[in-house]
């Protein structure tokens, strides 16, 4: 047999063996981390129950929690996670999920230290307490995210449904705490899926897709009488004056997308094979790390808008996007749109796009109109 074939076969077998062992090690490490996390959450739940029972019944006076923390620090040097502030978070963790405690015992000395299947069970046999879990409760997700995630969720999400949503989301997408806090602040729970889009299908990174979905609203406010006509290039007009007038107004509106948007330009010049294109507005979003192309349309949504926008995105990705940036995202802003129809037709496009609607001054009440730049100022510029 050829010696090279033997060596190649040996190397292949070696690589396979290494991969098998490597996978086993990584899986073992993940299980160990998961077990540690479950043990910590169970401990915190029990400690929280203990603190709650004593502080809420006036057994402990003001400053008692701080004193406990200080004494623990002295008796257990290097101990982390039991500062006075964290002990209050631990109490909150128990109290906000108190419904999991089926015993509802007033025994303030009870503590929790282990997790078995879908129940919490104290390992202290003399204080054995059963904590039953509803069949619909996402116990696996609950036990897989860290305590810091729980604190963020409990502090920012107010309803049970929101909290369950963010627990499952954090578990499914391995979201970092800072990312989770940003998503909660952007109210992902209430805005999820409102913008007709194809982000989940066209953005491989699902966390990035959810970020994009939460970034954009399904309706915006524009005070222009005819946005589509205003953005038609006309060499007979004083281009700089018109564009500056438009930018001063449109930028204020578009920037309501969020502080992470940076304005790149309007009527941004693109060229491919000698064909020039001029997308209405171009932004860069720091959080999404991508260009965002916005097309303004006066009137109802038309399927042809998607093809036009897809062409812009293709050229942007090929000619403008930096190597370290994510693929560009496109947003169509039109006067009206049938969301179900948009969702139906947009799935055939392989570029990430969404369709939102806008309101003009004619659609707004008098109080809101007073907050907007007068239309006659823009007319004077023209």
Pairing of strands 353-359, 219-221: parallel
How does pLDDT run across 98-150, given as a tens digit for each residue? Answer: 888 766 544 433 333 333 333 333 333 333 334 556 667 888 899 999 999 99
> Which tokens go with 166?
């963010």
Rounded CA-CA distance 306/309 in Å is: 5
**17-26 CB burial, b ≥16 within 10 A, e <16:** eeeeeeeeee
| DSSP string for 139-167 | HHHHHHS-HHHHHHHHHH--SHHHHHHHH
More confident residue, 318 or 230: 318
Rounded CA-CA distance 200/365 in Å is: 36
CA 365 to chain centre: 32
CA 269 to chain centre: 32
List the strands of the sheet with 290-296, edge to edge.
219-221, 353-359, 329-334, 290-296, 281-285, 261-266
Domains of the chain, with CATH numbers?
3-188 (no CATH), 194-381 (3.40.1350.10)
% helix / strand / coil in the chain, to the nearest 5? 55, 15, 35
Q: Which residues contact 126 (CB under 8 A, 6 or more apart)?
A: none
**Cβ neighbours of 283 (radius 10 Å):** 22
Average pLDDT, integer, range 211-218: 80
**How far from 117 is each of 21, 112, 135, 140, 172, CA to CA, in Å?**
28, 15, 12, 9, 19
Look at residue 39 in the predicted model and tell me its pLDDT.
Answer: 85
If pLDDT is split at 50, 70 and 90, which confidence band does 379 have? very low
Highest mean pLDDT among 28-32, 104-108, 132-136, 344-348: 344-348
More confident residue, 380 or 128: 380
How does pLDDT run across 66-76, given as a tens digit for each residue? Answer: 988 898 888 88
* Cα radius of gyration (the chain): 28
Least confident of 21-30, 207-216, 289-298: 21-30
pTM recorded for the entire structure: 0.55
Average pLDDT, the chain: 76
pLDDT at 242 over 80: no
Scanning 188-317, the segments in alpha helix (DSSP H) are: 188-191, 199-202, 206-215, 227-230, 239-254, 303-315
More confident residue, 129 or 30: 30
Average pLDDT, integer, range 243-263: 61
Average pLDDT, integer, range 350-361: 84
Do 302 and 336 touch, CB atoms closer than 8 A?
no
């Amino acid at each position: 047999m050829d010696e090279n074939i033997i060596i190649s076969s040996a190397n292949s077998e070696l690589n396979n063996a290494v991969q098998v062992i490597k996978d086993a090690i990584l899986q073992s490490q993940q299980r160990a981390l998961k077990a540690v996390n479950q043990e910590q959450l169970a401990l915190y739940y029990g400690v929280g129950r203990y603190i709650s029972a004593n502080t809420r019944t006036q057994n402990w006076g003001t400053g008692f929690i701080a004193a406990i923390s200080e004494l623990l620090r002295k008796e257990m040097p290097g101990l982390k996670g039991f500062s006075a502030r964290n002990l209050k978070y631990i109490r909150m963790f128990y109290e906000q999920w108190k419904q999991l405690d089926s015993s509802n015992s007033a025994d303030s000395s009870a503590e929790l230290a282990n997790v078995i299947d879908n129940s919490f069970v104290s390992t202290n046999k003399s204080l054995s307490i059963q904590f039953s879990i509803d069949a619909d409760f996402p116990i696996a997700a609950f036990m897989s995210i860290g305590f810091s995630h729980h604190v963020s969720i409990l502090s920012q999400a107010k309803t049970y449904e929101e909290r369950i949503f963010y627990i499952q989301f954090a578990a499914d997408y391995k979201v970092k705490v800072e990312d989770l806090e940003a998503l909660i602040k952007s109210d992902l729970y209430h805005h999820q899926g409102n913008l007709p889009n194809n982000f989940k299908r066209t953005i491989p990174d699902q966390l990035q897709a959810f970020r994009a979905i939460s970034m954009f609203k399904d309706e915006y406010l524009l005070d222009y009488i005819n946005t589509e006509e205003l953005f038609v290039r006309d060499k007979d007009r004083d281009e700089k004056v018109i564009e500056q007038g438009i930018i001063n107004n449109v930028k204020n509106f578009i920037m309501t997308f969020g502080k992470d948007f940076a304005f790149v330009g309007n009527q941004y010049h693109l060229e491919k094979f000698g064909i020039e294109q001029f997308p209405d507005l171009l932004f860069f979003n720091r959080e999404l790390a991508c260009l965002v192309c916005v097309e303004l349309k006066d009137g109802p949504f038309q399927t042809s808008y998607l093809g036009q926008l897809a062409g812009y995105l293709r050229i942007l990705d090929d000619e403008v996007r930096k190597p370290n940036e994510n693929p560009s995202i496109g947003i169509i802003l039109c006067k009206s749109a049938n969301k179900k129809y948009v969702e139906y037709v947009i799935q055939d496009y392989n570029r990430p796009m969404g369709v939102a609607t806008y309101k003009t001054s004619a659609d707004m009440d008098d109080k809101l109109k007073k907050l907007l730049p007068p239309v006659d100022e823009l007319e004077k510029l023209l």
